[in-house]
Amino acid sequence: MDRVWQWAWDRHGTTYSWVVFAISFTVNLPVTALLAFVIAGFADSGRFYSTAAVAVVTTSVAMYVAARPGSEVWSLIEGWAAGDLVDRRDALQATYTLARTSVVRAFTVTTLAGAMMCVVVGVLAGESLWSLVQFAAIGVAYSLAVQMIAIHSFVEASLRPVRIAIASDSGFGDSLPRSRPSFAMWSNLSILAVAGVFCLGGTALGASIDAVSDTPIVAVAIAAGLTFLFGVPITVGAAFAPSMRPIRDLAQGTERVAAGDYTQRLPVVQDDDLGALAASFNRMQAGLAERERLQAAFGSYVDPALATRLLAQGDDIFTGERVVVTVLFVDIRDFTPFAEANTAEATVSHLNALFEIVVPAVLDAGGHVNKYLGDGALAVFGTPNPLAHHADAAVAASLQISRRVAEHFEGAIRIGIGINTGQVIAGTIGGAGKLEFTLIGDTVNVAARIEQLTKTTGDTILLTEHTVDALAQAPADLIDRGAHEVKGKSATVHVYALEG
In order, the DSSP letters of 344-409 are: HHHHHHHHHHHHHHHHHHHHHTT-EEEEEETTEEEEEESSSS--TTHHHHHHHHHHHHHHHHHHHH
Task: Confirm whether 293 is domain-assigned.
Answer: no
Task: Give the range of the structural domain holding residue 341, as residue numbers without chain letter.
Answer: 311-498
pLDDT at 324 (0 to 100): 94
Reported as a single tens digit per residue, the pLDDT across 421-478 is: 999 998 877 666 666 778 889 999 999 999 999 988 989 999 999 999 999 888 888 8
Task: Confirm whether 305 is domain-assigned.
Answer: no
- Report yes or no: 408 and 314 within 8 Å, Cβ to Cβ: no
Helix, strand, coil % in the chain, rounded to nearest 5: 65, 15, 20
Largest CA distance in the chain: 124
Of 484, 481, 416, the closest CA to residue 448 belongs to: 416
Is residue 258 domain-shared with residue 336, that is, in the same domain? no
Q: How confident is the model at residue 236 (pLDDT cuts 50, 70, 90)?
A: low
Mean residue pLDDT of the chain comes to: 80
Is residue 30 domain-shared with residue 120, that is, in the same domain? yes
Is residue 427 domain-shared with residue 333, that is, in the same domain? yes
Domain with 349 in it: what CATH number?
A: 3.30.70.1230
pLDDT at 436 (0 to 100): 73
Is residue 137 domain-shared with residue 250, that is, in the same domain? yes
CB-based contacts of 62: which residues, under 8 Å, 6+ apart? 28, 32, 106, 109, 110, 113
Task: Confirm whether 162 is domain-assigned.
Answer: yes
The domain total for the chain is: 2
Tell whether omega for the bond before 69 is within 30 degrees of 0, i.e. cis.
no
pLDDT > 80? residue 246: no
In eight-state DSSP terms, residue 82 is T
* Helices 273-301 and 304-313, axial angle in degrees (round to 10): 140
Is residue 186 domain-shared with residue 321, that is, in the same domain? no
Q: How confident is the model at residue 213 (pLDDT cuts 50, 70, 90)?
A: low
Q: Would you give the distance in Å from CA 193 to the centre of its chain?
A: 35
Is residue 41 domain-shared with residue 187, that is, in the same domain? yes
- Report yes or no: 236 and 227 within 8 Å, Cβ to Cβ: no
Q: How confident is the model at residue 260 (pLDDT cuts 50, 70, 90)?
A: confident
Q: Residue range 7-20: average pLDDT? A: 90
- Report yes or no: 464 and 497 within 8 Å, Cβ to Cβ: no
Reported as a single tens digit per residue, the pLDDT across 170-184 is: 666 676 656 655 655
- Report yes or no: 426 and 383 within 8 Å, Cβ to Cβ: yes
CA dist 339 and 129 (Å) reads: 109
- Report yes or no: 266 and 282 within 8 Å, Cβ to Cβ: yes
Reported as a single tens digit per residue, the pLDDT across 28-63 is: 888 788 778 877 877 766 678 888 898 899 989 988
Compute CA distances 363 → 139, 323, 356, 406, whole Å.
77, 19, 11, 20
CA dist 174 and 279 (Å) reads: 5
Helices (H), 125-209: 129-167, 183-208
Is residue 319 domain-shared with residue 198, that is, in the same domain? no
Task: Confirm whether 150 is domain-assigned.
Answer: yes
pLDDT at 66 (0 to 100): 86
Specify the amino acid at residue 447. Answer: A
Task: Confirm whether 50 is domain-assigned.
Answer: yes
pLDDT > 90? residue 185: no
- Return the SS3 of 302: coil
Of 24, 54, 25, 28, the closest CA to residue 39 belongs to: 54
Q: What angle do CA 415, 406, 411 make, to 5 degrees?
A: 75
Compute CA distances 24 → 63, 181, 432, 497, whole Å.
6, 23, 64, 88
Q: Is 30 exposed, middle or buried (0-12, 13-18, 19+ CB in 10 A)?
A: middle
- Report yes or no: 288 and 304 within 8 Å, Cβ to Cβ: no
Is residue 132 domain-shared with residue 255, that is, in the same domain? yes
Reported as a single tens digit per residue, the pLDDT across 334-366 is: 888 888 888 888 888 888 999 999 999 999 999
pLDDT > 80? residue 187: no
CA dist 485 and 471 (Å) reads: 23
Q: How confident is the model at residue 318 (pLDDT cuts 50, 70, 90)?
A: low
Q: Residue range 73-99: average pLDDT? A: 86
- Report yes or no: 429 and 435 within 8 Å, Cβ to Cβ: yes
CB-based contacts of 372: which residues, under 8 Å, 6+ apart? 355
Q: Residue range 271-289: average pLDDT? A: 79
- Report yes or no: 20 and 78 within 8 Å, Cβ to Cβ: no
pLDDT at 468 (0 to 100): 93
Out of 80-89, 103-112, 234-243, which region has the weakest mean confidence (pLDDT)?
A: 234-243
Q: Residue range 2-24: average pLDDT? A: 88
Is residue 254 domain-shared with residue 364, that is, in the same domain? no
pLDDT > 70? residue 413: yes
pLDDT at 464 (0 to 100): 94
CA dist 72 and 60 (Å) reads: 20
Q: How confident is the model at residue 229 (pLDDT cuts 50, 70, 90)?
A: low
CB-based contacts of 310: which residues, under 8 Å, 6+ apart? 298, 302, 317
Considering 288, 303, 325, which residue would you say is the last residue of a domain?
288
Considering 288, 321, 338, which residue would you say is the last residue of a domain?
288
For 394-461, the DSSP string reads: HHHHHHHHHHHHHHHHTTSS-EEEEEEEEEEEEEEEEETTEEEEEEESHHHHHHHHHHHHHHHH--SE
Is residue 88 domain-shared with residue 188, that is, in the same domain? yes
Task: Confirm whether 300 is domain-assigned.
Answer: no
Q: How confident is the model at residue 206 (pLDDT cuts 50, 70, 90)?
A: low
Is residue 143 domain-shared with residue 247, that is, in the same domain? yes
Is residue 354 domain-shared with residue 267, that is, in the same domain? no
Q: How confident is the model at residue 328 (pLDDT cuts 50, 70, 90)?
A: very high
pLDDT at 118 (0 to 100): 85
Task: Confirm whether 491 is domain-assigned.
Answer: yes
End-to-end CA distance of the chain: 72
pLDDT > 60? residue 211: no
Task: Confirm whether 304 is domain-assigned.
Answer: no
Q: How confident is the model at residue 143 (pLDDT cuts 50, 70, 90)?
A: confident
- Report yes or no: 285 and 264 within 8 Å, Cβ to Cβ: no
Q: Residue range 328-335: average pLDDT? A: 90
Q: Name the percent of the chain lying above pLDDT 70.
A: 76
What does DSSP say about strands 461-464 and 415-431: parallel, antiparallel, or unpaired? Answer: parallel
More confident of the two residues 238 and 115:
115
pLDDT at 379 (0 to 100): 92
pLDDT > 70? residue 332: yes
Q: Is 482 exposed, middle or buried (0-12, 13-18, 19+ CB in 10 A)?
A: exposed
